[in-house]
Structure 1
Amino acid sequence: MFSFNDLQVVDVVSRRGSFSAAAEELHKVPSAISYTVRLMEEKLAVELFERHHRQVALTPAGRYFVEEARQLIKHMELIKHQTQRVANGWAENVSVALDTVVRQSRVSTMVRDFYQAFPDVELHLTMEVYNGVWDALADGRADLVIGATAAIPVSGDFDYRDMGSLNWVFVMSPDHPLIQCQNTLDEAELAKYPAICLEDTSRVLPKRTTWLMNNQRRVMVPDWSSAFQCLEAGLGIGVVPEHMAMPKLKEGVLVSRLLPHSPPVSPCCLAWNKASLNPALNWLLQYLGDSQQLHQEWMR
């Protein structure tokens, strides 16, 4: 019904208070401004301005229209700006999925630095467990995943960067009954007590568990913070990331024991969808650094 120019004319007339002042600002003749306003009033079937000798004033309907018109002008300018950015390879947002094994303290620093570099690009973060990060990448819910463990279970236009190896350690509370066993624990003895496990967040890919004995009960928790709380309370036993367990072991709130079969070391990586590359994602890939930096900052 109205063009950007029509809305702009009404906005300027309302601010300047006269057709001649608006014409001066818009580099038009007053008759063109007056004609545009009259056509708009005819389309709306209402008067937007009260005409006085040399000035005009908004009617109540005009005040409402101008408020709405200004919002439309802003939105139209935003659409133009965003369309140009998309054409130049920019994205409105970047989605990053993080495995819960990564250092949580590093996340806030990354967010702060990202928004300093890209103040008008949204960063969407999700926390995933085990195959959940691969599932998010394959399903398009994430452009980039940090801390993905195990072999890549998906095929597609993805690339990855090694983050080093993730070691696991078997732990329990110092007050747990198993602490009395002096030798290497056998499977029958271990199966008597609940295993503290994280639920794989994968929606499509097969779910996996780091460690579980046959016929062993589980206590399912959403993240490692909850897992450590349960372990410290003596509610179960479990295998946890070594870099997360070390402070607990040094404090003495948890103790480690040898298992009949040690959990395999997990390769860990950064992975991304090459089809999603844009300036913001490229910046993240450069910011996160090489394999050594990734391991040092996210896995230690």
Structure 2
Amino acid sequence: MLSEQSFELIELVAKLGSFTSAANHLNKVPSAISYAVKQIEEEIGVELFERHHRSVSLTEAGEHFVSHSKGVMASIASLKQSTLDINKGWRPALAIAIDGIVREDGISHLIRAFYQRFTDVELRIYREQVNGCWQALSEQRCQIAIGPASNIPVGGPFEFRKLAQLHWQFVVAAKHPLAQVEHISLTDLVDYPAICVSDTASDYPRYRRGVAPGQRALSVPDWIRAINCVKDGLGVGLLPAHLIEPFLANGSLVAKSCELTLADGDSLLVWDRNVQNEAMSWLVDYLSSDQRLVNSWFLPN
């Protein structure tokens, strides 16, 4: 029967590339590792490794097995921990990751409605940026994510619905030198830092929105700081249109035509379909149906 040790062994052999190296790492003889891997393959009914003279490499089926094993091991660890928590009298909880692109308006309304409906389930809410929500989902640090972009850089048991379409606007401070330029070219941008938000995901290639070739970047933790940096003339940037509307209205930011653009994209509600309970179902339905709440997050004030 497959166990945590089975997944760990296959992953170790795949990482080191040979039974001998894995055996040395585990202080065992190579024949014991080879036999254990063979037992796992026979249980599954497929070969996970191609055997070479002094090394092994993953088959296509092996690649699939290894790519999904981390999620399985995370599920096992989560099950163990939740069982221990219940044994200690701790309450069940749902974790929600909210992308920084989502305004905080209405979060208290969501919490109040949830706690009125469920008296024995806790909510854990925290912020992620750029691809952070996707990594939180894949690592099972959250069961629901609000607002991640639709690039979907991970695979897994996830379902999603569109919440809103995101629009990007290039802006500068009212007193910035580029405020007087009718149409800003890529060459114009080289002398001024691009303000962008740091990606909280650590397992994916770092993605920086809105940086022109040859342009320096100034990375900040969230969109509020990004807006403030542009307002203070510390740089320029492509910012979410729904977040900057008040500053365009009061004149502290100026929208400009620019050669550097970002395509509109969808902001999603994503959840783990393997988590099936009443609280999860209620929360997904609530977030999918309360348009006023969604508008408070994504429409200009």
Which TM-score bucket, shorter chain as reference? Answer: 0.5 to 0.7
Amino acid at match of 1:155: G
**Does the 8 Å contact 2:212/2:260 carry over to 1?**
no
Q: Distance in 1 between matches of 2:106 and 2:167?
A: 19
What residue in structure 1 maps to residue 203 of structure 2? 204
Report the Cα offset of residue 294 of structure 1: 6.4
> What's the RMSD between the two structures over aligned residues?
2.3
TM-score (norm 2): 0.67
1:271-290 aligned within 5 A:
271-290=270-289
**Does the 8 Å contact 1:232/1:254 carry over to 2?**
yes
Q: Does 1:102 align with 2:99?
A: no
Structure 2 vs 1, CA of residues 206 and 278 (structure 1 numbering), >3 Å: closer, same or farther? farther
Report the Cα offset of residue 108 of structure 1: 1.6
**Does the 8 Å contact 2:210/2:261 carry over to 1?**
no
Amino acid at match of 1:282: S
What residue in structure 1 maps to residue 176 of structure 2? 176
Amino acid at match of 2:119: P
Amino acid at match of 2:160: Y
Amino acid at match of 2:135: D
Deviant stretches of 4+, over 3 Å: 290-295
Amino acid at match of 1:156: G
Q: Distance in 1 between matches of 2:107 and 2:294?
A: 14
What residue in structure 1 maps to residue 41 of structure 2? none
1:35-50 aligned within 5 A:
none
Tell me, what secondary structure is at the counterpart of 1:239? strand
Which deviates further from its counterpart, 162-171 or 203-212?
A: 203-212
Q: Distance in 1 between matches of 2:290 and 2:188?
A: 40
Tell me, what secondary structure is at the counterpart of 1:208? coil
What residue in structure 2 maps to residue 259 of structure 1? 258
Q: Distance in 1 between matches of 2:187 and 2:156?
A: 42
Amino acid at match of 2:278: P
Report the Cα offset of residue 150 of structure 1: 2.9
What residue in structure 2 maps to residue 136 of structure 1? 136
Unaligned runs of 5+ in 1: 1-78
Unaligned runs of 5+ in 2: 1-82
Tell me, what secondary structure is at the counterpart of 1:275? coil
Structure 2 vs 1, CA of residues 207 and 290 (structure 1 numbering), >3 Å: closer, same or farther? farther
**Does the 8 Å contact 2:186/2:260 carry over to 1?**
no
Which deviates further from its counterpart, 107-116 or 172-181?
A: 107-116
Structure 2 vs 1, CA of residues 162 and 93 (structure 1 numbering), >3 Å: closer, same or farther? same
Tell me, what secondary structure is at the counterpart of 1:111? helix
Tell me, what secondary structure is at the counterpart of 2:249? helix
Tell me, what secondary structure is at the counterpart of 2:196? strand
The C-alpha deviation readout for 1:56-80, integer Å capped at 9, x for no partner, is xxxxxxxxxxxxxxxxxxxxxxx9x
Tell me, what secondary structure is at the counterpart of 1:126? strand
Q: Distance in 2 between matches of 1:205 and 1:112?
A: 35
Identity %: 35
The C-alpha deviation readout for 1:136-165, integer Å capped at 9, x for no partner, is 111111100000113211111110011131
Structure 2 vs 1, CA of residues 107 and 295 (structure 1 numbering), >3 Å: closer, same or farther? closer
Tell me, what secondary structure is at the counterpart of 1:272? strand
The C-alpha deviation readout for 1:85-125, integer Å capped at 9, x for no partner, is 99xxxx71101000011121121211122122223211111
1:181-192 aligned within 5 A:
181-182=181-182, 184-192=183-191
Q: Distance in 2 between matches of 1:294 and 1:112?
A: 13
What residue in structure 2 maps to residue 238 of structure 1? 237
**Does the 8 Å contact 2:161/2:288 carry over to 1?**
no
Q: Distance in 2 between matches of 1:153 and 1:201?
A: 14
Q: Distance in 1 between matches of 2:103 and 2:291?
A: 15
What residue in structure 2 maps to residue 18 of structure 1? none
What residue in structure 1 maps to residue 193 of structure 2? 194
Report the Cα offset of residue 263 of structure 1: 1.1
Structure 2 vs 1, CA of residues 115 and 291 (structure 1 numbering), >3 Å: closer, same or farther? closer
